[in-house]
C-alpha cells in the first residue's frame, strides 16, 4: 500500500484493489507534503477506430514513445502520484500496451487505469494486462439503439465481454451524460448492474 502525504492528511492507496484510505486526523506540514498530483492522465495515442460525434481528440496518428511514458511514470511515482490513467484516442490500439503496463507495474509503484471503448479487448491483450493494471474503464454512454448509433458497434457483445473480463481484472464504466443520454440513465443502470463492474462514473 502506497502512502501519499497531503494537506488533508495521510492518503493510503492499494493499486491492486483500488482501495483508498484517508486518515484526516493526521495533519501534514506544508514542507512534508508530496509534490506530485494524485492522478495523471496520459493520452498514449490519438489513433481511434471509432468516430463518436462528441470526441474531442484529433485523429492525427500521434503516439508517445513507451520509454518516455515509463520515464514519466517513474518520475511521478517518486513525487507521490498514486495512479496514471491511459487514454487517447483508443489506448488498445497503442502498439505494446501490454508490455508498457507490465514494465510500469514492475518498475514503479503507481496504479494504472485504462479508458477504452472495449471492443478491442482480445484474449491476447487481456492476458497481457492481467495482473498489471488496477482497473480498465469501458465507455458506455447509452442503452440500445442509441449506443450503436453513437459507437457504430453493438452493445450486447461488449456487455458479454465485460462479464468475462470482469473475472480477470476490475472493470469500471464511464458514461458521458448530455441532454440525449440523461433520460436513459435508469435503463443503462440496470444493464451495468448486471455486468461485472466495480463502479460507474458519470461525466458531463
- List phi, psi (to 5°) of 103: -70, -45
Instruction: Provide the pLDDT for residue 164.
Output: 85
Assess if residue 134 is contained within a domain. Answer: yes
Q: What is the mean pLDDT of the chain?
A: 94
Assess if residue 122 is contained within a domain. Answer: yes
> What is the grid cell recorded at 195?
455486468
DSSP bridge partners of 6: 9
Q: What domain range includes position 185?
A: 35-203
DSSP bridge partners of 187: none
Where does the pLDDT of residue 56 fall: very low under 50, low under 70, confident under 90, or very high at 90 and above?
confident
Assess if residue 25 is contained within a domain. Answer: no
Assess if residue 28 is contained within a domain. Answer: no
Where does the pLDDT of residue 51 fall: very low under 50, low under 70, confident under 90, or very high at 90 and above?
confident
Assess if residue 9 is contained within a domain. Answer: no
Q: Calculate what percentage of the chain has a pLDDT beyond 90.
A: 82
Q: Is the pLDDT of residue 59 over 80?
A: no
Domain count across the chain: 1
Q: What is the rounded end-to-end Cα distance, in angstroms, of the chain?
A: 32
Parallel/antiparallel/unpaired status of strands 135-139 and 111-116: parallel
Assess if residue 43 is contained within a domain. Answer: yes
> What is the grid cell recorded at 85?
490513467
Q: What is the DSSP letter of 30?
A: G
- In total, the chain counts a number of residues equal to 204
**Chain segment 68-113, per-residue pLDDT in tens:** 999 999 999 999 999 999 998 999 999 999 999 999 999 999 999 9
Q: Is the pLDDT of residue 52 over 90?
A: no
**Chain segment 144-158, per-residue pLDDT in tens:** 999 999 899 999 999
> 160: domain CATH number?
3.20.20.70
Region 21-25: mean pLDDT is: 96
Q: Is the pLDDT of residue 57 over 80?
A: no
DSSP bridge partners of 200: 173
Closest to 83 in 3D by CA, of 147, 158, 137, 138: 137
Assess if residue 96 is contained within a domain. Answer: yes
- List phi, psi (to 5°) of 34: -70, 140
Assess if residue 166 is contained within a domain. Answer: yes
Amino acid at each position: 500500500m502506497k502512502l501519499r502525504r497531503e494537506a488533508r492528511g495521510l492518503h493510503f492507496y492499494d493499486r491492486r484493489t483500488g482501495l483508498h484510505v484517508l486518515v484526516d486526523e493526521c495533519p501534514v506540514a506544508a514542507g512534508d507534503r508530496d509534490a506530485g498530483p494524485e492522478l495523471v492522465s496520459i493520452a498514449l495515442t490519438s489513433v481511434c477506430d471509432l468516430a463518436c460525434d462528441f470526441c474531442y481528440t484529433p485523429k492525427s496518428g500521434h503516439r508517445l514513445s513507451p520509454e518516455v511514458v515509463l520515464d514519466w511514470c517513474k518520475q511521478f511515482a517518486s513525487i507521490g502520484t498514486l495512479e496514471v490513467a491511459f487514454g487517447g484516442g483508443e489506448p488498445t490500439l497503442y502498439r505494446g500496451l501490454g508490455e508498457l503496463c507490465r514494465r510500469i507495474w514492475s518498475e514503479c509503484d503507481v496504479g494504472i487505469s485504462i479508458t477504452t471503448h472495449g471492443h478491442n479487448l482480445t484474449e491476447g491483450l487481456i492476458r497481457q494486462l492481467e495482473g498489471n493494471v488496477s482497473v480498465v474503464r469501458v465507455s458506455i454512454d447509452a442503452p440500445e439503439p442509441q449506443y450503436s448509433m453513437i459507437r457504430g458497434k453493438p452493445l450486447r457483445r461488449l456487455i458479454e465481454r465485460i462479464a468475462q473480463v470482469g473475472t480477470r481484472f476490475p472493470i469500471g464504466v464511464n458514461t458521458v451524460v448530455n441532454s440525449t443520454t440523461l433520460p436513459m440513465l435508469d435503463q443503462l443502470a440496470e444493464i451495468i448492474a448486471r455486468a461485472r463492474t466495480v463502479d460507474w462514473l458519470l461525466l458531463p
